[in-house]
Amino acid sequence: MSKTQLVRGEPYPLGATLKEDGVNFAIYSEYAEAVEIELYNANDNYTKETVELKERDGYVWHRFVPGIRKGQLYGIRAEGKYDPSRGLRFNRNKLLIDPYAKALSGKINWDKSIFSYDQESPHKDLAINNDDSGPFVPKGIVLDTQYDWKDVKKPKHSWARTVIYETHVKGISILREEIPEKIRGSYSALASESMIQYFKDLGVTSLELMPIHHHVDDMFLVNAGLSNYWGYNTIAYFAPDIRYSSGPPGTQVNEFKNMVRKLHENEIEVILDVVYNHTAEGNHLGPTLSFRGIDNITYYKLQSENKRLYEDFTGTGNSLDSRQPAVLQLIMDSLRYWATDMQVDGFRFDLASTLARELYNVNMLSPFLATIHQDPIISNLKLIAEPWDVGPGGYQVGNFPPKWAEWNGKYRDQMRRFWRGDEGMLGHFATRLSGSPDLYQDKGRLPKASINFITAHDGFTLLDLVSYKSKHNEDNPSGFEGGSDENYSMNFGVEGNTDDEKINGHRFRMMKNFILTLMVSQGVPMILGGDEIARTQNGNNNSFCHDNRINWFNWNLNREKQELLKFTRHMIMLRKSNPVLRRRNFFMESLPDVDLKEIIWMDSSGNKMTPEKWNLSENKSLMVWISGHYTSEIAYSGEFLTGGDLLLLFNSGSNPVNFILPDDGTKWELYADTNLPTIDGLPIPIEGRNYLLNRGASAVIRERT
CA distance 152 to 162: 20
How far apart are the C-alpha atoms of 598 and 123, rounded to whole Å?
Answer: 69
Cα 384 from Cα 408, distance rounded (Å): 10
Q: Reply yes or no: is the peptide bond before residue 13 cis, omega within 30 of 0.
A: yes
Q: What angle do CA 575, 578, 580 make, to 5 degrees?
A: 105
134 vs 140: CA distance, rounded Å: 12
Q: Choosing from 98, 273, 345, 350, which is the catalytic residue?
A: 350
Q: What are phi and psi of 464, to 5 degrees?
A: -70, -30
Catalytic residue among 386, 458, 532, 598: 386
Euclidean distance between CA atoms 464 and 462, whole angstroms: 5
Residues 550/538, Cβ–Cβ less than 8 Å: yes
Give me the phi and psi of 454, to 5 degrees please: -100, -40
Distances (CA, A) of 450 to 226, 403, 438, 526, 678: 35, 11, 11, 10, 30
What whole-number distance in Å separates Cα of residue 449 and Cα of residue 432?
A: 12
Burial 191-200 (b: 16+ CB within 10 A, else e): bbeebbebbe
Cβ-contact 300, 308 below 8 angstroms = no
DSSP class of residue 357 equals B
Q: Reply yes or no on whether 21 is catalytic.
A: no
| Residue 342 to residues 146, 230, 376, 511, 634, Cα–Cα distance (Å) | 11, 21, 17, 36, 34
- Cβ–Cβ under 8 Å, residues 142 and 71: yes
| Number of Cβ within a 10 Å radius of residue 72 | 24
Q: Are 457 and 170 within 8 A, CB to CB?
A: no
At a CB cut-off of 8 Å and minimum separation 6, what does 653 contact? 421, 620, 621, 695, 696
Are 303 and 360 contacting, i.e. CB atoms less than 8 angstroms apart?
Answer: no
Per DSSP, 96 falls in state B
Determine contact, residues 74/39, Cβ cutoff 8 Å: yes
Catalytic residue status for 386: yes
* Element containing residue 348 per DSSP (H, E): strand 346-349
What is the C-alpha separation between 553 and 61, in angstroms, rounded?
A: 46
Q: Could you tell me which of 268, 106, 273, 247 has the C-alpha nearest to residue 190?
A: 268
625: β partners: 600, 647
Closest by alpha carbon to 686, among 649, 638, 631? Answer: 649
Establish whether the linkage from the previous residue to 683 is cis, with ω within 30° of 0: yes
Task: Assign 242 to helix, strand or coil.
Answer: helix
Q: Which residues pair with 141 in a beta bridge?
A: 73
Task: Give the catalytic positions in this structure.
Answer: 350, 386
